[in-house]
A = this chain, B = another copy of it.
Amino acid sequence: MATVASAGERALIDRIRARLRNQPSFLTLGIGDDAAVIEPSRGELDVITTDSLVEDVHFRRAWTAATDIGVKAVAVNFSDLAAMGATPRAVLLSLALPPALPLADFDALVDGVVSATEAAGAALAGGNLTRSPGPLIVDVVAMGSIRRRRMLRRDGGRAGDQLYITGPVGAAAAGLGMLEAGVERQSLDADARECLARYERPAARLRCGRLVAASRSATAAIDLSDGLAEAVRQLAEASLCGAALTAEDIPVHAGAIAWCKRAGRDPIEFALAGGEDYELLFAVPARRRRAFLAAVGRSGCRECVHIGQLTSESGVWIQRANARIPFPDGFRHF
């Protein structure tokens, strides 16, 4: 079987180049030189982020198709751009490849990266290939742009701002749970299949982030990569506030509720702690509520809901029936 080791570095780079379609005019110099050269967007700031997927930490090759790994590696980065309100322009792909990786998997992974990148109007501009003596590591860098006055940060929230999320939570964690439990894909209903899809092929809320940023209706934003609880905690702490959520307002995905029933888990705790829902969390002052919801509506995002507010009292809490309980921890990488 052909492997990345048998192909050689130059042939791998040629295979990447052969897959590129979108070479926008701002890409002055793409793959093939010592560095990529990009013309900045006039009057805008550069926004840059990096995030990686590590085999056996973030994915298992036995569970997830190589294309999906590529799609997800881009989506997790674009989600960070979405949380700033930025528009993606360029991606760099840095791969640490086990020598025995089948060439077909390499091609599929690159296909996933290129399709997710180009679907957002961005270009794969460069990167790096190296050998890995251990896991496959897919490290993506995403660059975007935003006007200075539109930039969304996580530290701009104020006590009294209302908290919204752009869609149901717990779905990705339920999808991961199903993979870990070895469920048969054929046996799954539509809700469960959606949970798997959210875990395997997340889509960043780029349009929503951009339109909310343009409306200047939100004071702060963050994505839910590390879970809802962690996102609320980090936004609140950065904004020097506390936060209070109401359990019954939290939209737990139907597939996650069904999964929790089967697994004997509490759906609210599951949804608060579960990571990898690439939704966005916004803090919105009451007087900007209509402008915010109008921007969200224009983005095509139909499931945005109010879940609580920032408080002057510090600490992050959830009101549940008559009890007020502190947040569980989110996903930690160590």
Contacts and interface: CB of A to CB of B under 8 A. Distances in A.
A16 interface: no
A33 interface: yes
Interface stretch (A81-89, A247-255, A287-295, A318-326): A81-89
Contact of A45 (B39, B79, B83, B94): B39
A117 to B, nearest CB: 15
Contact of A155 (B33, B38, B131): B33
10 contacts: A36-B49, A38-B47, A48-B125, A49-B92, A49-B126, A54-B132, A128-B139, A129-B333, A130-B333, A137-B137
A204 to B, nearest CB: 11
A4 B154 CA distance: 26
Contacts of A131: 54, 57, 333-334
A96 B54 contact: yes
Copies of this chain in the oligomer: 2
Given A46-B46, A139-B94, A334-B5, A133 B54 contact: yes
A293 to B, nearest CB: 22
A9 interface: yes
Interface in A90-116: 90, 92, 94, 96-97, 99
B28 A148 contact: yes
B47 A36 contact: yes
A246 interface: no
A45 B38 contact: yes
Interface centre among A39, A126, A334 (most CB of B within 10 A): A334
A34 interface: yes
A127 interface: yes
A151 B38 CA distance: 12
A8 to B, nearest CB: 6
Nearest to A51: B128
Q: How large is the interface on A (under 10, 10 to 19, 20 to 34, 35 or more residues)?
A: 35 or more
Contact of A48 (B36, B148, B238, B333): B36
Interface in A276-308: none
A110 to B, nearest CB: 15
Interface of A: 4-5, 7-9, 12, 28-29, 32-40, 44-52, 54-58, 79-81, 83-84, 86, 90, 92, 94, 96-97, 99, 125-135, 137, 139, 141-144, 146, 148, 151, 153-155, 221-223, 238, 332-334
What are the nearest 5 A-B pairs in CB distance? A134-B134, A40-B40, A35-B49, A34-B83, A34-B80
Given A33-B155, A96-B137, 12 more contacts: A35-B144, A38-B45, A38-B46, A46-B46, A49-B92, A50-B92, A52-B94, A52-B130, A54-B133, A94-B139, A133-B134, A133-B135
Contacts of A94: 50-52, 94, 139
